[in-house]
Structure 1
Amino acid sequence: MAEHRMVDVNGIRLHVAEQGAGPLVVLLHGFPESWHSWRHQFGPLADAGFRVVAPDQRGYGRSDRPDDVGAYTILHLVGDVVGLIHALGEEKAYVVGHDWGAPVAWHTALLRPDMVLAVAGLSVPPPFRGPEPPLTAMDRKFGGRFYWNYFDRPGVADAEFGRDVRTTLRKFFHFGSGAAHSSGEAGQPLVDLERGWLADMPDPEVLPAWFTEEDLDALTESFSQGFTGALNWYRNLDRNWELTAAWQDAPVTRPALYVYGDRDLVPAFPGTPELIANLPALMPSLWREPLELPGCGHWTQQERPDEVNAALVEFLKACP
């Protein structure tokens, strides 16, 4: 059973869940999630001999949520991971991330390879900086309808998602699941700018077996203070592009694992299928070919915990 506490990190307080003893594994959640998204990983990783720690990242759950939008850059997020490792009394850790947590994990390995024993990303592949700022690129391609651009509008998505938090989360988790999409589906997550993103999202009568009403209760509680902190991560996408200019074309050099579902919309984003296909050539540190999970949607470690756990344990044990 995971134990919970608050930790002072990088000038803020983070809530963390912790279980096990051994080499440190830091698990980083995505949007719209919390430490709870790793509930299926705690036991198996702890049983395999690891100390497992999953924070509510800044802006989420019981952790601090700074008011300044500029306090959510990739450098702040990597700084939180670095500070957390040190606050836990360690010098190095394995770092694993899903969704937004994956870019944080990848960038921690990119910027601080001295502290990362190995890195794994679920859903979002390793970062290779594009030729133009991402919000600018998606605005040009989709006329402002791509969800990143919608999230960038101050207060708009915050208000839409906050009107009925439980319904928002129920819709999101159905929309991103493998059950909601067909394999190879190439549709993009576009928003009706007048009606909002939730308007046309189906509201499922029954939740999938891997996401219970109790799970939804826990997640709803974690967003009781709203979505603004979490959305502020997206509002720094172009700023992150500017801040990481010095790492243009730099690959992650630490041992790396990438896992994704074939029904996840993220790996179908513009340019991403080509990136995934070229990863073995772009990243010599890749442990093996990207692991594709048939029938799996966006919520990788929740939808397919057994396969993800087996892959993580094998990978982490192979990277002492």
Structure 2
Amino acid sequence: MSQPTQRIIKVNGISLNVAEQGQGPLVLLCHGFPESWHSWRHQLAALAEAGYRAVAPDMRGYGKSDRPEAIDQYTIFHLVGDLIGLLDALEAPNAVIVGHDWGASIAWQAARLRPDRFHAAVILSVPYRPRGPAPPTSLMPQTAEAQFYQLYFQQPGVTEAEFERDPRLTLRAMLFGGSGEGMAATRSNGTPSERMLSAGMVQRSGGMLPTGTVPSPSWLSEADLDFYAGEFSRSGFRGPLNYYRNVDRNWEQLAAFDGVKVTVPTLYIAGDQDVVTKFPGAAEQIANMKQSVPLLRNTIMLPGCGHWTQQERPEQVNAAMLEFLRELPR
């Protein structure tokens, strides 16, 4: 099987690097934090082999794509706009959108706001969340000793300094810590701070990264880790962290669309050990998702799988995604 090809495409006032493989109906794959197009390496090949044109961009701020400096250049409207621009550049009237982590949040909004361009959605990890009653950061948990990791990300420069000291260690720690293997290890012999972090909390007295040695997860090769580390060594973490610095701004900007449902056929897949599915309210959001996503076809919970869904369980994700795609009207 051939490898994906990469090229730079001008969209929405910036340049995006995209990886492409295959011919046929377009499937657009949106990665999350802290990843790149490479997190879809197993899906690009499977989709191409099944007769689809799979396209995975380095999202704005990542990899070889442009990374604007200003925080306000990473709102949900910029991110959805990038994808619309990508469809236009690819001369595609529409596509199936697939998203994981931050890519899932973007994919939800893309399908919700532009069902004319995104006619179906496959969402990994992050369930659909209706608009809350107050700005998101005001509702995030914090105590005198610890704060929710997204609050730790808010102050520009602080998290960048920690993560950029050793990008390879940062990536290894995050990819292991959030995986099913990492969650199991933390439960059995984790320190109090590691157990706190596995619940999404960061101690105020220290950073987010562990101080000891960190194993690599079994599903990640050293070559894959080298690739990720190389990308972040070059591009840094500011762009990716700026996504989190817009959550309150996104809440304000999406007010006009409150109550608008996701009206396209949708598949939701998550790991039963994914910390995102254990956040306060997430179980209820998953159970009630059909109220906001009336064409939700299926909810699949993968046993033992952590946060990195399509990398931890590529064969199961690919099989479920291809079955969903085959059932869509061509």
Normalising by the smaller structure, the TM-score range is over 0.9
Q: Is the 8 A contact 2:131 2:251 kept in 1?
A: yes
Q: How far 1:155 sits from its partner (Å)?
A: 0.6
Identity %: 53
Aligned length: 316
- Which runs of no fewer than 5 residues in structure 2 stay unpaired? 188-194
Measured against aligned partners, the alpha-carbon deviations of 1:112-159 in whole angstroms (never above 9, x if no partner) come to 111012011100012311111111110567887100000001110010
Distance 1:95 1:20 in 2: 16
Q: Is the 8 A contact 2:44 2:54 kept in 1?
A: yes
Q: Is the 8 A contact 1:252 1:283 kept in 2?
A: yes
Q: Normalization by structure 1: what TM-score?
A: 0.95
Measured against aligned partners, the alpha-carbon deviations of 1:52-91 in whole angstroms (never above 9, x if no partner) come to 0000000000000001100000000000010001101111
Q: Normalization by structure 2: what TM-score?
A: 0.92
Measured against aligned partners, the alpha-carbon deviations of 1:154-186 in whole angstroms (never above 9, x if no partner) come to 110010000011001110011011012249x89
Tell me which of 260, 266, 269 is aligned to 2:276.
Answer: 266
Partner of 2:260: 250
Q: Is the 8 A contact 1:37 1:302 kept in 2?
A: yes
Distance 2:259 2:280 in 1: 19
Measured against aligned partners, the alpha-carbon deviations of 1:284-319 in whole angstroms (never above 9, x if no partner) come to 11012x100000000000000000000111111211
Q: Which moved more, 1:87-96 or 1:174-183?
A: 174-183
- Which runs of no fewer than 5 residues in structure 1 stay unpaired? none
> RMSD in angstroms over aligned alpha carbons?
1.7
SS in 2 for 1:113: coil
Tell me which of 120, 128, 145 is aligned to 2:130.
Answer: 128
Matched, 1:189 2:191: no
Q: Which moved more, 1:232-241 or 1:278-287?
A: 278-287
Structure 1 moving runs of 4+ over 3 Å: 139-144
SS in 1 for 2:297: coil
Q: Is the 8 A contact 1:138 1:144 kept in 2?
A: no
Distance 2:17 2:292 in 1: 36
Tell me which of 292, 297, 302 is aligned to 2:311.
Answer: 302
The one-letter code of the counterpart of 2:328 is C
Q: Is the 8 A contact 1:265 1:297 kept in 2?
A: yes
Q: How far 1:189 sits from its partner (Å)?
A: 1.0
Distance 1:258 1:128 in 2: 16
The one-letter code of the counterpart of 1:190 is M
Measured against aligned partners, the alpha-carbon deviations of 1:224-250 in whole angstroms (never above 9, x if no partner) come to 221000000000000000010112122
- CA gap of 1:176–1:5, structure 2 versus 1, over 3 A, is same
